[in-house]
Amino acid sequence: MGLLRFERKSMAPEAVFSPVEKKYLDEFIKLREIEGLSDTWVYQIRSFITDYLDYNNWKIEKEKTLNYFTIIQKKQATTTYRKRVYQIRKFLSYLGFEWATQINPPPEPLYIPKRISSDAIQETLSNYQNNEYYLQVKAIILLGSTSGMRAEELYQLTLDDIDLNNKIVRINHNPTNGQSTKTKQSRVSFFTDDARNALTEYIEFYQQNNGLKCLFSQSHIERLFRDKNVVIRVKELRKYFSQEWDRRGGPTSIKKILMGHSMRGDVDLMHYNCQSEEDLKKIYDKVMGGASSSI
């Protein structure tokens, strides 16, 4: 049954409900914002739901809803399709449609991680050697591959978040300032000497006002990495860090803290393993101190 604010025109299973007012979508999106989700993810959620409502002429009808999912399932990768189903299902449940709980996406496909080597990073860097934004590309590649940050976290960085002297990067969860993390928790990570050198060169270039409005604008970086000759993408720099940390025998618990993994279900991290910033830096330097020679 729908909520009272919807007028049911028939008791038949395929009954059509009165058009959904935009204010209910706005209310739902506002609740997602209150959760502390990033602006990018909130925008995507709105896009998912708006596309669904447009297909249904902003009316809630079970049969057309199922047809919609059948159509998009054939067009999208399983991971993207699952995200879309979850958000639309959550919206329908918010409106009070009990049958929405019966809509379940397929399981995630078996995933085999891609191995990222230092050669891949070198090859990617060489591809941009003559690009006017080479210093920017080099900075984000070396920072991402030695800090373990998510791509979205790199895009949100400001100059104030980077401590060049101590090789510390602060990943802030501050939605009011356009910064958010997946776990809704702020944290710190670190970077190597090579990354510091690259950042120093790039920041000097950036401060000369070369048409760049922020350190690593997402749209700008994504355009740069559309080059078909690029071996790795920004989101894969984090994967390199994880693999390189393990290759060097670094403790998994510390890697999880640096990378901002969720601690839910990890009893050791939730209740026992408390490390100060100084502790983390000592361990990082011990594990990754020679990382500059391998990139």
Residue 199 has pLDDT above 60, yes or no: yes
> In percent, how much of the chain has pLDDT > 90?
65
pLDDT at 227: 82
Q: Are 64 and 88 in contact (CB under 8 A)?
A: no
**Strand arrangement of the beta sheet that strand 187-190 belongs to:** 162-163, 168-171, 187-190
Under CATH, which number does the domain 118-294 receive?
1.10.443
Q: What is the mean pLDDT of residues 208-237?
A: 89
pLDDT tens for each residue of 26-55:
999 999 988 877 788 899 999 999 999 999
pLDDT at 267: 61
Angle subtended at Cα 175 by Cα 210 and Cα 216, rounded to the nearest 5 degrees: 20
Q: Are 3 and 96 in contact (CB under 8 A)?
A: yes
Give CA–CA dist 79/253, Å, rounded.
27
Question: In this structure, which CATH number among 3.30.9, 1.10.150, 3.30.565, 2.30.30 belongs to the domain 22-102?
Answer: 1.10.150
Give CA–CA dist 103/219, Å, rounded.
34
Between 268 and 251, the more confident residue is 251
pLDDT at 35: 85
pTM of the model: 0.68
Q: What is the largest CA-CA distance in the chain?
A: 71
**Radius of gyration, alpha carbons of the chain:** 23
Cβ neighbours for 221, distance < 8 A, ≥ 6 positions apart: 136, 140, 154, 155, 234
Identity at 276, one-letter amino acid code: S
Angle subtended at Cα 71 by Cα 65 and Cα 77, rounded to the nearest 5 degrees: 115
Give CA–CA dist 78/82, Å, rounded.
6
Domain range summary for the chain, segments of one domain joined by +:
22-102, 118-294
Helix (H) / strand (E) containing 188: strand 187-190
Structure token pair of residue 87: 């958000």
Q: What is the mean pLDDT of residues 178-195?
A: 90
pLDDT tens for each residue of 64-86:
999 999 999 999 889 899 999 99
Residues 274, 147, 41, 102, Cα dihedral to 10°: -60
Residue 87 has pLDDT above 70, yes or no: yes
